[in-house]
Structure 1
Amino acid sequence: MSTLLVANRGEVAVRVLRAAADLGWRTTAVYTDDDPGHARLADRAVRLRGEGPSSYLDIDQLLEAAEGCRFVHPGYGFLSENAEFARRCAEVGLTFVGPPPEVLALLGDKLSARALAEEVGVPVLAGATSGFEEFFKAHGAVMVKAVSGGGGKGMRVVRRLGDLTPAVERCRAEALAAFGDGSVYVEELLTPARHIEVQLVGTTVLGDRDCSLQSGHQKLVEIAPAPGLEPGLRVRLHEAAAAIARAVRYTGLGTVEFLVTPSRFVFLEANPRLQVEHTVTEEVTGLDLVRAQLLLAAEVEPDLSHVARGAAIQVRVNLGSAGRLSTFAPPSGPGVRVDTHAYPGFRAGLGFDALLAKVVAHGDDLDTALRRARRALGEFEVDGAATNLGFLRGLLDHPDVLSAHTGFVDELPREDRGPRAPVQGTVVAVENGTVVVEAMKMQHVVAVGDGRVLVSVGETVAEGALLADGGTDAVEEKVVDVDLDEIRADLAETMARHDFSRPEAEAKRHSQGHRTARENIADLCTDFVEYGGLAIAAQRRRRSLDELVERTPADGMVAGVGLVNGRRAVALSYDYAVMAGTQGLRNHAKKDRMFALAEEQRLPVVLFAEGGGGRPGDTDHGMVSGLDCMAFHLFARLSGLVPLVGIASGRCFAGNAVLLGTCDVVIATRDATIGMGGPAMIEGGGLGVFRPEEVGPMSVQVPNGVVDVAVADEAEAVAVAKKYLSYFQGPVSTWEAPDQRLLRHAVPEERVRAYDVRTVVETLADTWSVLELRREFGRGIVTALIRVEGKPLGLIANDPSVLGGAIDADAADKAARFLQLCDAFDLPVLSLCDTPGFMVGPQAERTATVRHLTRMLVGGANLDVPFGLVVLRKAYGLGAQAMAAGSLKVPRFAVSWPSGEFGPMGLEGAVKLGFKRELDGIEDPAQRREAFEAMVAAAYEHGKALNVASAFEIDDVIDPAETRRWVSTQLLSDAARERAGKKRPFVDTW
């Protein structure tokens, strides 16, 4: 028998408990002393320590309560969209009823959800995460929104520029208190508009609903299906929701929300959970959505077949005050359903959500459903606490209630005029014409003037509750002159600590031909937000605070999030001017923080790694070995999840070199020296005395493959880093390409004449779009990132000027690792083949060719990205098969230029081996040579591209000038892939 913990309260807990009971599952409920009502319906009830919402947010307590359970249903609100809760459930063997943590993290962040919608072609509102004042001036009015959370918290409409800054600060504070994340952004204000939701089960669309009747961004009435939608618009909304779901391979119950006007619709947000208003969809489909949710979690496919059944309306009955319900008589009768956790004698408090009951009316048509909803509200009796029943009855009687927009309710005239509570909270003061309401340890002061105060100290009030009668008309707005340029003492102290200028250290760096850490970050990023800038070295036991602030700013590590090519990325730079860029206790902690952010938000990382490794001088700790630091583990775990870029300039040793070597690509300046140990460590190990420049100079680290791209200086390193990241940030809209007719002459007609394959690559790719990696290592194969028609892809190509294009161990290693990189980040791969095969012979076998060369075959055979093959000239033996991912039948296309020639091995070798007896029988050397050349010519005719195509061993012989057309239509036409996590466990560092 399945067992379920319901990690929630109130009417949603009752709803889930009943659905589980219908399936025959045993259930466990959790409750607090101030909220026990719903727990009576469970087979087992576990009391949580504490009171109020915080207990239901305590992951450790919930996991303790789940002992003996197999499933956890989070309901909605609280932890229902918390990726960490889902991860913790998985870690202890519990099945979280909902999508995986990666999807929760993606959709729970409104900015990443917006980006996802844009990537799949769903329109979004114009928005900004910074430069709010400029954005406001461009759009006239905005909505300020919290990045995390929902339920209308952290949202404000701003119509005047002067109101923008206060609204942003208020939203930040409210979001921080409610969700633990004070991040906000702004969007253009789209009004008047309707709020339309599309219900999903997995990627299947079940219908839509209208949620436009709202007050203060809190929904009051929901209708299904959404009335009055033009059929084509309804289809487009459903298709947009399904596209978003498919992009994340969505599982479980979910909702995609849109704002809709007569001329457009835009994505609002995606909720990866059960919605409060799921009831109306259930009524018009006849499906039990919570049952379907539980079955999906149990890996049982629910029956989603249904026939549309009229219309349904849900009305939310909310508390307006606390109290014990002396009367609680919900309505009933045909077509009426009430979801509630209340009962006569129920102690109604405002410490939780104010929702008391949901009245749902269903009918064969919308008019019938509306009449039933009105009748049901008229029958509903509640005594002992104030509710909004009277307001709801009047709202449903309004003639325009079925054609409302999101501002409709707030624009209605209200009889009870006066100042209202801005939040749900407790009255802590009534004095001097003000009422002070406290919520989440923040006080909100409301001016009431000489109005009659309706509340008293200690009373709990709902958001929007009337605080005074007539106060608004009696109060004149007081304008206080404020010097906006005044710097208060506390701000002055903070600003002084953020002044990181160190003229002497900066001058020294410049004199050595280097830039400072902050100069490199500024060149790489725009809108950089620094984390831990005020950190100092953990050496307070041996140095004064003033000295540490002066000499160890940021503990030698500048770290934060900024925009690279307009997209968010994590950037970190060791500061060599602070203790030689060594790894201190605080900058280790900063790395942990940044790497965790990169993993959570799937942000690429750029690391400037100059520095000397571990720092022995920190004293403010109790560690012994320090081997339990997490930075190396956390950074290595990012491999294959996000692009990792390492930049080395100057000296890079020990731990700094380890982080550098973990990166997908290593960019190094000509003066860089890279080593797993610096001179001190080498000397300490008894291995000799060396200068730093002798340990691992570029003359060693470039040809041996440690460095992917060698550059002149840090400015060029930053430019290359930006270019590298751009290939993983999607297509570009503008591009140019060389005249493709040049390709017709790129390969000489003389079949044994060498040529420059890089000229082929540069001509084939968009202009200035080629970035070659590890050029001086494994020189027989070119590995490069390129663009065709603005779209990024990876390219491998044999270089016939090196070993005639034969593939040796280093070249195979280089190609195999590059294929992993492209596959991990969904870049298509184009292979340009001109090889006589693998390198053979005793010398080659000393390099372990049997193992190294087969890495390329294994890597190609397991690619999951589009792969195409173009044979430029030679395609012989196993080397050609390796360039084709194992076989000519594997690539999405395998075509040849007219110069192509094919065979199981090189023509000359094949003739010598296959016709040895005949050739040995010819005594005259001249005749023997003539016979040999004739046999080679015959073999060439047999293996030339046109003959191979006639046997359909390749797809076509093409005009070289048409190569880009094959690439664009066959490799680059797929829709962009979205992954919830890693495709590969990691990208091999070698």
Structure 2
Amino acid sequence: MHKARQNPLVVFSNVSQRRPVPVFASIASAIKAIKPAQTMTLFLAKLIAWSPSANYIDAVNRAYRAACEFQIEGVATNLPFHLNLLKRADFQANDVYTNFIADNAAELVGGISHNNHFFESDGDDQANAAHVAVDGPAGTSAIPAPMQGRVVSVDVAEGGEVALGQQVAIIEAMKMEHTITAAISGIVRQVNASPDDVLFEGTPLFFIEERDVTPDASLQEEEIDLDHVRPDLQEVIDRVNTGLDEHRPEAVARRRKRNQRTTRENIADLCDEDSFIEYGGMALAAQRRRRSVEDLIKMSPADGMVTGIGSVNGDIFEDIDSRAMVLAYDFTVFAGTQGGMNHKKTDRMLDIAEEWGLPIVLFAEGGGGRPGDTDIPAVAGLDTPSFIRLAQMNGRVPLVGVVSGRCFAGNAALLGCCDTIIAAEDSNIGMGGPAMIEGGGLGIYTADEVGPIDVHRKNGVVDIVVKDEAEAVEATKKYLSYFQGRTENWEAEDQRILRSLIPENRLRAYDVRTVIDNLCDIDSVLELRKDFGIGILTCLVRIEGRPMGLIANNPYHLGGAIDAPAADKAARFMQLCNAFGLPMVSLCDTPGFMVGPDIEETAQVRHVSRMFINAAHMKVPFFTIVLRKGYGLGAQGMAAGSFHKPFFNISWPTGEFGGMGLEGAVRLGFKREMEAIEGLEERDAFYQKMVDAMYEKGKAINMASYLEIDGVIDPKETRHWLVRGLKSVPETKRNADTPPGFIDAW
């Protein structure tokens, strides 16, 4: 019989006109029970009533008659409720509705007399219970049962000696065996329990006459060998070791042949020492229908994907800020293809990352779906949620993709969802590898010919290009640091150097990277997409340890004019900074947006307008510093859409401003006057005179006098202005309540 608690349930169901099973209502068994335990719920009985007639009331009457035959004593049940329900006229008429029970609860639990159709009990409710003596011999103390349960063994006999703490019995409760020990030393004078007895809590098991007893040496607690490894633990250790590099020499050798590190070596380099804990390390490829478990353990450790959590840069930042999740494909397992179990593992990890706000580092090396997985009941597997789950993390936590070697198909799709891609020079990245290309009738290519690094560094797919995996991991740690917080230790160059970096000749180009390197903390500049959209630089930087995003026009490209790739690059960088609360600084030196028939063929109108749209949605502080040229809509784009939109908009003394470039403004505005001048020298003199006049009008000092900018400063004061600006605005740090941002994949 089942053990029960107070108020067990009697459930009546399927009161139906139809015949569910070919039996009439019946009572299967009866038993007299002990007092129910308080920790369990019992489903005592289920009554199914049916009627061969077409009348619903006939089935109800049968159910009522059968219910009256139930005899349950000693505990309260819900049987009266069901009897009351079956006798209600509206129930018998099948006039019930969803809230019928709730609306009539008071009447259904009320006292209504029903006829019992059974013989009354003789009152001997404990006939089957274990009979035990409550009182023991004089001068003895009881050892009671600490819980209700079944006696498994009695380990002492009457007349025997017991020492304090010695095992005297074992009781089973809730399918767990509990050791009962003596609370005192002495002689056992009475044993009240036998194996298989079911006893209540507090029932005396033994009565002991207390006296000093010398413990049996054989019963003394053995000293624990802290180095002993039990068989069950050894099995786990062996299984874990199977997937470690030191137990996979052939796999390691294959990596060395390609001058690459193993997946676990990359993770160990990324995460702080002893901080990484692995999830799903015992997963195996879903191929048990075609291979033995032993083979799969050797062939598919972790199902080709190592996942877990750890700390990155924990020596610099607090625990809460240095947290990170790692998803790393293992190319040595089925060429890094995506198996059913590693997809399941990915989904599990992404759920954790979303719930707890963990930045994600993805090591993407391998291909797409693995056709050899036979255990997954699927046709195409296109319902796999891994891709949309990673995409849903966009703008919630930093997503970093790291590539070395081949990254095709599904691996590339996940990589493309990352905010930033860091790739080694040996990388090949493509939405389809050689096999897929050939299968589509598109030609035969080697893996090295598909998406090499020189293609992706120029087209904007890869943000940071490095030599190898070691540099990739180092770049990943540096990249994550900007989203982890402020650093306390920093150095800066003598800021007086900034006074000399803009040429006095206003037509002379200069290297804006030199300005950035001297303005920002030493070794704090990390440039993204260096070889794409080269008209604008996008960098993560620090000012007195504070992380910021920086954009700057490049005078070496189109004189600083903004073309479509540069606008796309700047707009997406704004999204990145805005999503994760990085204040932005803009170093403006542009003659405006690039124009011309060829330029318009690149959809320039749409591309450059992205800068305005993204600026309009920014919530982080924006600071603009005009180094030299601030002309037209391009300058407004570099100032978050308007010169009065930034927290401050200041200029160096070399700043010059206008609705368009000075030279073009003179040629357009004074076209007739110039055409009227016949002499070439006189015309050139008139032209230069007007340019000089417009230059004087558009000088930074004059611009500031009209309050179109906030001031003109000594370049060496630029850091001071930025620090004061940062100290004057609230810190924009993401938390659980922050709505997710959005970072375009492009």
The answer to whether the superposition gives a TM-score over 0.5 is yes
Alpha-carbon spacing, 1:723–1:468, altered in 2? closer, same or farther (3 Å)? farther
2:735 aligns to what? 979
Q: In structure 2, what is the Cα distance between the partners aligned to 1:507 and 1:815?
A: 43
Q: In structure 1, what is the Cα distance between the partners aligned to 2:268 and 2:537?
A: 32
1:888 aligns to what? 643
Alpha-carbon spacing, 1:587–1:923, altered in 2? closer, same or farther (3 Å)? same
1:721 partner amino acid = T
- Of residues 281, 287, 307 in structure 2, which corresponds to 1:533? 281
Equivalent position SS for 2:298: helix
Q: Confirm or deny: 8 A CA contact 1:830 1:869 kept in the other structure.
A: yes
Q: In structure 2, what is the Cα distance between the partners aligned to 1:577 and 1:697?
A: 21
Residues 851-886 of structure 1: per-residue CA shift (max 9 Å, x gap)? 110001110121001111111111100000001111
Q: In structure 2, what is the Cα distance between the partners aligned to 1:475 and 1:948?
A: 101
Q: Confirm or deny: 8 A CA contact 1:34 1:52 kept in the other structure.
A: no
Equivalent position SS for 2:290: coil
Following superposition, the deviation at residue 511 of structure 1 comes to: 1.6
2:223 aligns to what? 481
Following superposition, the deviation at residue 493 of structure 1 comes to: 1.7
Alpha-carbon spacing, 1:890–1:427, altered in 2? closer, same or farther (3 Å)? farther
1:561 aligns with 2:295: no
1:819 aligns with 2:574: yes
2:380 partner amino acid = S
Equivalent position SS for 2:331: coil
2:263 partner amino acid = A
1:846 partner amino acid = E
Alpha-carbon spacing, 1:521–1:441, altered in 2? closer, same or farther (3 Å)? farther
Residues 948-989 of structure 1: per-residue CA shift (max 9 Å, x gap)? 111111111111111111111213552353432453453111
Q: Confirm or deny: 8 A CA contact 1:747 1:899 kept in the other structure.
A: yes
Alpha-carbon spacing, 1:459–1:827, altered in 2? closer, same or farther (3 Å)? farther
Residues 831-865 of structure 1: per-residue CA shift (max 9 Å, x gap)? 11111000111111011011110001110121001
1:450 aligns to what? 184
Q: Which moved more, 1:671-680 or 1:910-919?
A: 910-919
1:551 aligns to what? 299
Following superposition, the deviation at residue 444 of structure 1 comes to: 6.5
Following superposition, the deviation at residue 905 of structure 1 comes to: 0.6
Following superposition, the deviation at residue 543 of structure 1 comes to: 1.7
2:520 aligns to what? 765
Q: Confirm or deny: 8 A CA contact 2:271 2:311 kept in the other structure.
A: yes
2:745 partner amino acid = T
2:721 aligns to what? 966
Following superposition, the deviation at residue 470 of structure 1 comes to: 13
Q: Confirm or deny: 8 A CA contact 2:591 2:629 kept in the other structure.
A: yes
Residues 380-401 of structure 1: per-residue CA shift (max 9 Å, x gap)? xxxxxxxxxxxxxxxxxxxxxx
Q: In structure 2, what is the Cα distance between the partners aligned to 1:893 and 1:446?
A: 77
2:380 aligns to what? 625
2:413 aligns to what? 658
Equivalent position SS for 1:543: coil
Following superposition, the deviation at residue 446 of structure 1 comes to: 6.8
Following superposition, the deviation at residue 768 of structure 1 comes to: 0.9
1:669 aligns with 2:424: yes
Residues 900-951 of structure 1: per-residue CA shift (max 9 Å, x gap)? 1111111111111111111111111111111111111111110111111111
Q: Which moved more, 1:978-987 or 1:771-780?
A: 978-987
Runs (5+) with no aligned partner, structure 1: 1-31, 37-50, 56-322, 325-417, 462-466
Following superposition, the deviation at residue 626 of structure 1 comes to: 0.5
Q: Confirm or deny: 8 A CA contact 2:535 2:558 kept in the other structure.
A: yes
Runs (5+) with no aligned partner, structure 2: 1-5, 11-36, 42-74, 77-141, 156-165, 315-321
2:306 partner amino acid = V
1:450 partner amino acid = I
Following superposition, the deviation at residue 419 of structure 1 comes to: 12
Q: In structure 1, what is the Cα distance between the partners aligned to 2:350 and 2:192?
A: 52
1:600 aligns with 2:600: no
Q: In structure 1, what is the Cα distance between the partners aligned to 2:656 and 2:294?
A: 74
1:822 partner amino acid = C
Q: In structure 2, what is the Cα distance between the partners aligned to 1:469 and 1:604?
A: 63
Q: In structure 2, what is the Cα distance between the partners aligned to 1:776 and 1:823?
A: 23
Q: Confirm or deny: 8 A CA contact 2:582 2:732 kept in the other structure.
A: no
Runs of 4+ that moved beyond 2 A: 32-36, 51-55, 418-421, 424-461, 467-471, 473-480, 971-986
Please tell me the root mean square deviation across aligned C-alpha atoms, in Å. Answer: 3.3
Q: In structure 2, what is the Cα distance between the partners aligned to 1:890 and 1:838?
A: 19
Alpha-carbon spacing, 1:824–1:431, altered in 2? closer, same or farther (3 Å)? farther
Following superposition, the deviation at residue 544 of structure 1 comes to: 2.1
Equivalent pairs counted in the alignment come to: 580
1:945 aligns with 2:700: yes
TM normalised by structure 2 equals: 0.73
1:927 aligns with 2:675: no
Alpha-carbon spacing, 1:431–1:561, altered in 2? closer, same or farther (3 Å)? farther
Q: In structure 1, what is the Cα distance between the partners aligned to 2:561 and 2:469?
A: 35
Equivalent position SS for 1:702: helix
Alpha-carbon spacing, 1:446–1:691, altered in 2? closer, same or farther (3 Å)? same
Residues 757-788 of structure 1: per-residue CA shift (max 9 Å, x gap)? 11111111111111111010000001011111
Q: Confirm or deny: 8 A CA contact 1:892 1:971 kept in the other structure.
A: no
Equivalent position SS for 1:910: helix
Equivalent position SS for 2:276: strand
Q: Confirm or deny: 8 A CA contact 1:448 1:468 kept in the other structure.
A: no
1:838 partner amino acid = F
Q: In structure 2, what is the Cα distance between the partners aligned to 1:936 and 1:927?
A: 14
Equivalent position SS for 1:807: coil
Q: Confirm or deny: 8 A CA contact 2:620 2:732 kept in the other structure.
A: no
Residues 172-222 of structure 1: per-residue CA shift (max 9 Å, x gap)? xxxxxxxxxxxxxxxxxxxxxxxxxxxxxxxxxxxxxxxxxxxxxxxxxxx
Following superposition, the deviation at residue 625 of structure 1 comes to: 1.0
Identity of aligned residues (%): 56
Q: Confirm or deny: 8 A CA contact 1:808 1:838 kept in the other structure.
A: yes
Alpha-carbon spacing, 1:824–1:35, altered in 2? closer, same or farther (3 Å)? farther
Q: In structure 1, what is the Cα distance between the partners aligned to 2:252 and 2:514?
A: 42
2:672 partner amino acid = R
2:597 partner amino acid = P
Residues 696-742 of structure 1: per-residue CA shift (max 9 Å, x gap)? 01111110000000000000000011111111111112111111111
Equivalent position SS for 2:294: helix
Residues 334-389 of structure 1: per-residue CA shift (max 9 Å, x gap)? xxxxxxxxxxxxxxxxxxxxxxxxxxxxxxxxxxxxxxxxxxxxxxxxxxxxxxxx
The structure whose Rg is larger is: 2
Q: How does 1:687-698 map to 2 (within 5 A)?
A: 687-698=442-453
Following superposition, the deviation at residue 494 of structure 1 comes to: 1.4
1:496 partner amino acid = D
2:333 aligns to what? 578
Alpha-carbon spacing, 1:929–1:578, altered in 2? closer, same or farther (3 Å)? same
